[in-house]
A and B are shown apart, each in its own frame.
Chain A
């Protein structure tokens, strides 16, 4: 392939421009340029120098890992099922040619208020429609702390990476504490280990609920990873089809 020096220079300039634009967008999201928007102030009486300061309540969520695509593949004839998950990776002996995905959705509270996190699902949200399995636990979510995420090194948080368990703050009224991320359809004041949640269109809460907002905004404990697990039965061989699922992750705070 013969490319002239002039073409390379043009492409180089173009690349530099796009790189700088990308950097500007990322920096903006990192918060470097948004400080001016956070505060508004106005002097209400110049004679005595009283100023009025309004601090805005910013509810913000960042997803640091946008898409999980297992690609296409098949179940090895020697296996009854192929299990793949962003938490544990894929069973390489049973899942042939599927793409190994080892990073879940890394959600981070990037606002200045505590939030709860929930999800809804659109598309092929059930095991039956996504992998054609009658087993209802063939497609589920699993929410964990970002500090406990094995795929953590693949992506970084917007703020500093977490160093402590998140989703553990008290309710605003001083009520019970949440014991970290749990994928449950209904989350009550019970504590316990992480549980899985079968994906459903109606969605559910992943951290906190409508009235308690246990995910803080301090950089040391403001993120969690939502892992996806899929189990494909051997009987689904040949059914084909490329299914799409879109999760909408919601951050709720006091208004």
Chain B
């Protein structure tokens, strides 16, 4: 009895021993690192979870500029000392921590290793910037704020940056040319140039803006689009084919307005009979979403003129549409149709096979016939 207890205790001991292994390397994220001449980065790392000895090392490019301090209590620092100059481009290096086995076990064993891969971006030494243009959608009569965002990607200060922005309509007809303020741009810094476009008198539509950025004898371009909206709900799509009986019906609508639209719902009429009244909802500014419902179609298959009524705020918008009603195919009919298709396929295959076989026999006989004739002639 006591022996059994001892065995049980031994098994409990075995089960309670750690049955997994893990390796963790923690430190502040650095990538992507933007190279700056002479920059020194000191990042602290902690190794944890493992019960094995661990070696840490750096591999890849730029190793000559990276030093690892001694690992003390599973903690160490990685010190990057950038030189005064590096060729422009992207460099990669890896910091890895790898378990070292204390003893070699039998069979197929495993160890763990973790690596952190760093990306170093070296910008141009010539004057260089990246530009992007942004403009928010607005309601009719509201001015558009245009923002020209500039990012210096070089190690030289730029003395002067300014932008010229051309506004055009959908037909690419120039409507206005705007000049932004002029500013200096420090090396590796960011800056925003602004301009305002008065939309008074312009109809609701989509417009484009194209900017040319001039900086110390160089130039870059950037462009964007924006929309002038009005209180309107636009029907983008709807279910145009429905089955007889109960059928799903959906409408995809867009709020063409820079404010929320409340009390939004839709109705569908076919032959002046209301088939659908969707639940009421609200559209956020410029939001696109779907209204759904189930309709009961008691009409013969065919094409019908219908009307979709859109209700929003205190307005009603009527849109004439066409709806095609098709016969509903039951699952039994579908199975029968599938079975019929299979049968037809087999019949066609057999017929084609017989035809090909007949053709082969005919060719063989045709080839044999002249020889026979020739023999007969002798």
Contacts and interface: CB of A to CB of B under 8 A. Distances in A.
Given A57-B116, A254-B117, A34 B31 contact: no
A8 interface: yes
A155 to B, nearest CB: 8
Interface in A83-128: 105, 110-111, 113, 120, 123
B378 interface: no
B376 to A, nearest CB: 62
Interface string A205-239: 00000110000000000000000100000000000
A63 B110 contact: yes
Interface string B93-116: 011101101001111111111111
A11 B25 CA distance: 38
Size bin of chain A's contact surface:
35 or more
Interface in A14-67: 15, 18-19, 22-23, 25-26, 28-29, 34, 37-38, 54, 56-67
Contact of A19 (B6, B16, B31, B107): B16
A57 B27 contact: yes
Size bin of chain B's contact surface:
35 or more
Contact of B114 (A59, A64, A120, A245): A59
Contacts of A54: 28
B36 to A, nearest CB: 18
A137 interface: no
Interface string B33-49: 00000000000001011
B48 A252 contact: no
Interface of A is mostly: mixed
B18 A29 contact: yes
B3 A3 contact: yes
B106 A242 contact: yes
A250 interface: yes
A95 to B, nearest CB: 15
A245 B115 contact: no
B2 interface: yes
Given A56-B27, A244-B104, A255-B118, A15 B110 contact: no
Nearest to A57: B29
Interface in B50-104: 92, 94-96, 98-99, 101, 104
B19 A59 contact: no
A45 B127 CA distance: 37
Given A67-B107, A67-B108, A255-B31, A26 B18 contact: yes
A244 to B, nearest CB: 6
B110 A158 contact: no
B5 interface: yes
B12 interface: yes
Interface centre among A60, A113, A242 (most CB of B within 10 A): A60
B21 interface: yes
A67 B9 CA distance: 24
Given A8-B5, A249-B113, A62 B20 contact: yes
A59 B22 contact: no
Interface string A181-203: 00000000000000000000000
Given A29-B49, A246-B109, A249-B113, A37 B13 contact: no
Contact of A61 (B95, B109, B114, B118): B114
A29 B113 contact: no
A22 B26 contact: no
B20 A63 contact: yes
Given A22-B17, A60-B24, A67-B105, A254 B116 contact: yes
Contact of A60 (B3, B5, B17, B49): B49
B236 to A, nearest CB: 26
B23 interface: yes
A153 interface: no
A251 interface: yes
B27 A11 contact: no
Given A3-B2, A252-B94, A68 B107 contact: yes
Nearest to B8: A15
B117 A255 contact: yes
B30 interface: yes
A100 to B, nearest CB: 13
A59 B25 contact: yes
Contact of B108 (A59, A211, A247): A247
A244 B107 contact: yes
B108 A1 contact: no
A8 B10 CA distance: 12
A23 B25 CA distance: 23
Contact of A248 (B2, B18, B19, B110): B110
16 contacts: A19-B12, A25-B18, A29-B22, A37-B46, A58-B25, A59-B116, A62-B22, A63-B20, A70-B108, A123-B104, A228-B108, A244-B109, A245-B108, A247-B109, A248-B112, A252-B115
Q: Report the 8 A-B pairs with minimum CB-CB distance, sorted nearest first.
A: A69-B107, A255-B116, A22-B16, A60-B24, A62-B22, A57-B29, A255-B118, A250-B113
Interface of A: 1-3, 8, 11-12, 15, 18-19, 22-23, 25-26, 28-29, 34, 37-38, 54, 56-71, 105, 110-111, 113, 120, 123, 155, 158, 210-211, 228, 242, 244-255
